[in-house]
Amino acid sequence: MSKPSSLTMVRIEEAPVRAEFVRDAEATARLPVVVEKPLPFLFRLYSKSWLRKAMILVVLALVWEAYGRYLNNDLLFPTFSATVSAFVTDIVSGVLPARAWSSIKVLLMGYGCGIALASVLTGLAIMSRIGTDFLETLTSMFNPLPAIALLPLALIWFGLGNGSLVFVLVHSVTWAIALNTHSGFLSVSSTLKMVGRNYGLSGFDYIRKILIPAAFPSILTGLKIGWAFAWRTLIAAELVFGVSSGSGGLGWFIFENKNSLDIPHVFAGLLTVIIIGLVVENLLFRAIENHTIGKWGMQS
């Protein structure tokens, strides 16, 4: 009996009995609290991502300008203002737009071919097991191989011209897009796949109407990475072998101006590459994103 008695030592306090109450609806309706009110103007401004990014750009430009003035050596590091004025002269003279256009033309050709090739490869991969193995093997073989390393070979095969540029571009674009698209296809939820088959979809229709939209976040990431790879590869390739058919691209523009020690123009060339990158990323891809996965609530 000693054990139970030790338990009773603990005094159990019981909760008090309280009266019930019900609030009538009228009393709750007259709340003195503001249910919804707009936030202060500056706060709303700060929540715009484009504005925050623009601020970062302005600060970077100011730091650049300050350092350039402090160094005071146009040959090593021209100021932001000198770069901008070189940029403006080159734009006005039409040199820079022409060079940029010839780069972009080649870039789009390579990018387009890369997308087409990646679509074929991932299409095969999703339809058959041997296709999957084929894609996985090719990707693990070629994805780590820098596109530039293929340039000497490309020059032998396709000669000094756009052909070899497009070849290295395709190589740099295809694997990134194929890899992302394929992993996107694989991660489509099994419920959605079953829904698609329930509708009687199969083959190409099934890929187009179910898999591609469902895997669109990964596909878009692949396209972005592919675009960045393509730019890098193109500029690097132009720097290495330079001119083709009279007027070269941006890489060649940079190379030429470096040779004549026009460093502000070199910077203007680099600035163009950066601006095109920013525009494509922040306007084009962002717009696609907002109109697709953003609207669909598929963005994490």
Partner 1 sequence: MMMTNDITPAPSPLLEVGGVTLQYKTPRHLVTATYRIDFQVYQGDRFILLGPSGCGKSTLLKAVGGYMTPTEGEMRLKGNLIRSPGPDRMMVFQEFDQLLPWKTVRQNVMFPLQCTHRLSASEAEERAMHYISKVNLEKFADSYPHMLSGGMKQRVAIARGMAMEPDILLMDEPFAALDALTRRKMQDELMMLWDETRFTVLFVTHSIPEAIKIGTRILLLSPHPGQVKAELNGGLQGEEAVELERRIQTMLFADTIEEAENV
**Residues in contact with partner 1 by the rule CB under 8 A:** 189, 191-192, 194-195, 197-201, 205, 209-210, 213-214, 216, 292, 295-298
- Residue holding tokens 């460093």? 263
| Tokens linked to 113 | 């071919």
Q: Which is closer to partner 1, CB of 97 or CB of 294?
A: 294
- Residue holding tokens 């990018």? 111
Q: Which is closer to partner 1, CB of 198 or CB of 259?
A: 198
Q: At what angle do helices 250-259 and 95-127 cross, to 10 degrees?
A: 140
Q: Which is closer to partner 1, CB of 40 or CB of 200?
A: 200
Q: How many Å apart are CA 115 and CA 121, to the nearest integer?
A: 10
Tell me the CB-side half-sphere exposure of residue 53, using CA atoms within 13 A. Answer: 8
Q: Which is closer to partner 1, CB of 46 or CB of 296?
A: 296
In sequence order, which residues have a C-beta less than 8 Å from that of residue 26 and are 6 or more positions away?
A: none
The phi-psi region of residue 159 (left if phi > 0; otherwise alpha if psi is between -120 and 50; otherwise beta) is left
Q: Which is closer to partner 1, CB of 5 or CB of 191?
A: 191
- CA distances from residue 71 to 33, 65, 78, 79, 169 in whole angstroms, order as listed: 59, 10, 9, 9, 38
Q: How far is the CB of 72 from partner 1 (least distance, A)?
A: 56
Q: How far is the CB of 29 from partner 1 (least distance, A)?
A: 24
Q: How far is the CB of 46 from partner 1 (least distance, A)?
A: 26
Q: How far is the CB of 215 from partner 1 (least distance, A)?
A: 11
Q: How far is the CB of 196 from partner 1 (least distance, A)?
A: 9
